[in-house]
Amino acid sequence: MNVWAIDKDIPLKLLLIEWVHRFGENSLRLNLAEAHFQAIELMAVDEAELRAYVYTFAQNAQRYGIDLKYPITAHNIIGGHENLSLEQTLTILETHFS
């Protein structure tokens, strides 16, 4: 996937590039149906219900918000992570998808 060809906010593209650099191109799937310019939905390769919705809208500049989604609906965390740095976001995503 060519990250720069995706019609998304630059900070989201930078997040994806850094993820691929650290963990490999096929370590996550991107839900291409997510239409919001300032949001992406990432999915585990082997378990599509394990997801993370990452967004830049309503955040400070160069900051991210994350909603974590689990296969068990009762454990989903909505809006639990706001105004995170790139490094904090990557750490949360790594923990969530490992």
pLDDT in tens, 73-88: 777 777 679 999 999 9
Residue 5, both tokens: 């060809």
pTM for this entry: 0.88
pLDDT of residue 56: 96
Q: How many domains does the chain have?
A: 1
Supply the range of the domain harboring residue 17.
3-97
Q: Are 16 and 40 in contact (CB under 8 A)?
A: yes
Name residue 69's beta-bridge partners: 51
Distance of alpha carbon 20 from alpha carbon 92, whole angstroms = 15
Asked if the model's pLDDT at residue 1 lies above 80, the reply is no
Which of 10-19, 22-31, 55-64 shows the lowest mean pLDDT across its residues? 22-31
- Least Cα distance to 29 among 1, 9, 57, 65 occurs for 1
Q: What's the one-letter identity of residue 69?
A: K
pLDDT tens figures, 33-75 = 878 999 999 999 998 889 999 999 999 999 999 999 888 877 7
Percent of the chain with pLDDT over 90: 62
Long-range CB pairs of 26-29 (<8 Å, 24+ gap) are: 27/97, 28/97
